[in-house]
Amino acid sequence: MTNHRKHPIRRRARAVIGRGSLAALLVALAAGLMLAYGAAEAEDTVEPEPAEQETVDVDLPEDWFEQGETLYLQNCSACHQSAGDGIPGAFPALAGNPFVTGHPQGIVHLLLNGRAGMPAFGGLPDEELALITSYVRNAWENEAHPVDADMIATVRDGDELDLESGGPMERPGAGQ
């Protein structure tokens, strides 16, 4: 169950995020959103341009991926399935979903507030939401910037995440 857990010693994970053009990113985001929730006929996805590198510090425990997986299995897998492939017609796949790996603002907002039938998970603590978000952005074949509790708090407060991009990126330090 979702008891509050003690987090092991934190380590600063250094993440490198790709910096694509903002326009391309927005198109990818919009397409991802449609794929994820809402429009039945998604439009062609436009790949973001090849990226420069941007480095952002995130504050996550060393075993964030494993912790994230545990929380994912508890809170998400009933619908989105443990392989992240979702259920067609009911719950969108998270694996390979550009909305999931896109700029984190979108997915964090969705987790906090729910959307299109998906319940809100704003009741979970920021640390757990950070682990879940980071996990789904890096599980399966996904690769994207992980997210820490401060970033969750920022979105919770209604503010924009101060990231230029947040698109595809190298997987940071610890992990699979």
Partner 1 sequence: MMGRDEGTTRGIDRRHFLRLLGATGGTAAVFGAMDAWGMIAASAAEAPPDLEGSADGRRVIILGAGLAGMTAAYELAKLGYETPIIEARDFAGGRCQTARRGFVQTEVTGRTQRALFDEGQHFNHGPWRIPYHHRSTLHYTREFDVPLEIMVNDNPNAWAYREEEDGNPFSGERVRIRELRADIGGYTAELLAKAVDQSRLDDELTEEDRERLIDYLVSFGQLDRSALEYRGTGGRGYEEDPGAGLNPGVPSDPHAFRDVLSHGAINSFRAIDSHTQKNTMFQPVGGMDQLARGFERAVGHMIDYGQEVVEIRQNDDGVRIVVEDRGTGETREVEGDYCLCTIPLSVLNQIPSDLSPEFSQAMNQVTYASTGKIGLQFGRRFWELDDHIYGGHTITNLQGIGNITYPSYGWQEQKGVLQGYYNFGSDAIEVSAMTSAERTRFALEAGSKIHGEAYEREFETAFSVAWHLIPYSLGGWASWSSDARQNAYPILNEPDGRILLAGEHLSYMTGWMSGAIESAWIQMEKIHQHAQATATRVQEAA
Residues that bind partner 1 in the complex, under the rule CB under 8 A: 1-3, 37-41, 73-79, 81, 87, 89-91, 113-121, 123-124
Backbone angles phi, psi at 6, to 5 degrees: -80, 135
CB of 87 to partner 1, least distance (A): 5
**Among the listed residues 28, 34, 69, the one whose alpha carbon sits nearest the alpha carbon of residue 51:** 28
- For partner 1, the closer of residues 45 and 81 by Cβ is 81
CB of 129 to partner 1, least distance (A): 12
CB of 171 to partner 1, least distance (A): 26
- For partner 1, the closer of residues 41 and 141 by Cβ is 41
CB of 86 to partner 1, least distance (A): 10
- For partner 1, the closer of residues 13 and 130 by Cβ is 130
CB of 51 to partner 1, least distance (A): 30
Q: Taking a C-beta distance cutoff of 8 angstroms, is the pair 14, 173 a contact?
A: yes
- Give me the sign of the Cα torsion angle 167, 52, 57, 170: positive
- For partner 1, the closer of residues 9 and 40 by Cβ is 40
At a CB cut-off of 8 Å and minimum separation 6, what does 87 contact? 79, 81
Burial class (CB in 10 A: 0-12, 13-18, 19+), 174: middle
The rounded distance, in Å, linking the Cα atoms of 142 and 160 is 23
- For partner 1, the closer of residues 1 and 9 by Cβ is 1
